[in-house]
Amino acid sequence: MAGLIVAIVVVVFLLILFARTVRIIPQARAGIVERLGRYHRTLTPGLTILAPFVDRLKPLIDLREQVVSFEPQPVITSDNLVVQIDTVLYFTVNDAKSATYEVANPLQAIEQITVTTLRNVIGALSLEDALTSRDHINAQLRGVLDEATSKWGIRVNRVEIKSIDPPGTIQEAMEKQMRAERDRRAAILNAEGVKQSQILTAEGQKQAAVLSAEGQKQAAILRAEGEAQAIGTVFEAIHDGNPDQQLLSYQYLQMLPRLAQGDANKVFVIPSEFADAFGGIGRAFAPANANAASPAPDASGADNAVKSARPGLPGAEDAGAPARPGLPGAEKAGAPARPGLPGAENAGVRPR
């Protein structure tokens, strides 16, 4: 029984000795070994053998990039406004020995130095600059923190400002200012749009007027050329056809009804040339009617036949026909003269 207890005690001792001797360091971790209370070495990832009861392994240190978010801190700007600033810090432990022995609480130290540096940087800026210069603030914070934490074996990769919250009244005033600024920009843009629209409209009207004038000019030229060609064609047709006086008189009579066209015409004026045209048509048709009514004289007695002459024409007095009153030769024909006409006193007619 006593031998069994001794064996169990030996096995337990060996297990404890093995556990204190053989250690496995995970990846991205680092271990500090102290021998008899003094720094001995830094363990890297892998299998490590320690001297039992002599070496002591401190808690492992994470070598990965770590993210720390700090509570919003009140910061006073250069224009005496208190703003709440929330920051995020990204850092990496690059020296496990310095991070273990140079600073007691690395996270607290980093937080305090971040707040202090943030107040120094923001205190030199106005609220508007702080809101619009976050990249500049981040760069300044990173430079100061990296310099301060380098001796701790910690490298600050970047510092980000999550939010800058001014007081409620300041936010309301900023919103009103922004709204007024946008209204002003909208009014300017609207005025510019109206201006451009009026300019384009005027340009369009100008071009339309120019094109319309050009079109009217071309139309007038083409109309004049057409009328000139039409007149030339009619002129050539008339001269080529060689019309006589009777045809011209007939065409003249056909144009007379057009003089009376129109609702405003109340008086029909007969031109003085009407009698001449009508007389020409009469002379054109008189020989045909005379030949159709009288028998054709023979060749031998043609000179002695009594011809009836037209009144008022030359030779009427020689033919013995009664002359028209008031016409030349009426006195010789012995016809009674019309009162008031030349020759009336020679005919013995009492004037009216």
Query: Stretch 200-204: mean pLDDT, rounded?
Result: 92
Do 94 and 150 meet the contact criterion of CB atoms below 8 Å apart? no
Lowest mean pLDDT among 130-139, 165-174, 333-342: 333-342
Residue 303 has pLDDT above 70, yes or no: no
Nearest to 334 by CA among 342, 351, 322: 322
What is the third-level CATH fold of 69-166? Answer: Tetrahydropterin Synthase; Chain A (3.30.479)
Residue 330 has pLDDT above 60, yes or no: no
Task: Quote the CA–CA distance of 194 and 336 in Å, as a whole number.
Answer: 95
Query: Stretch 83-110: mean pLDDT, rounded?
Result: 89
Look at 342 and 176; give whichever has higher pLDDT: 176
Of 194-198, 266-270, 333-337, highest mean pLDDT: 194-198
Tokens of 238: 């008339």
Burial class (CB in 10 A: 0-12, 13-18, 19+), 110: buried
Would you state the pLDDT for residue 273? 60
Quick: pLDDT tens for 46-60: 888 888 888 888 889
Instruction: Give residue limits of the domains in the chain.
Output: 2-62, 69-166, 167-234
Q: Would you give the DSSP letter of residue 90?
A: E
- Give me the chain's average pLDDT, please: 76
| Residue 216: CB atoms within 10 Å | 10
Would you state the pLDDT for residue 280? 62
pTM of the model: 0.48
Nearest to 35 by CA among 18, 16, 58, 17: 58
Query: Stretch 280-298: mean pLDDT, rounded?
Result: 51
Would you state the pLDDT for residue 336? 40
User: How much of the chain exceeds pLDDT 90, in percent?
Assistant: 20
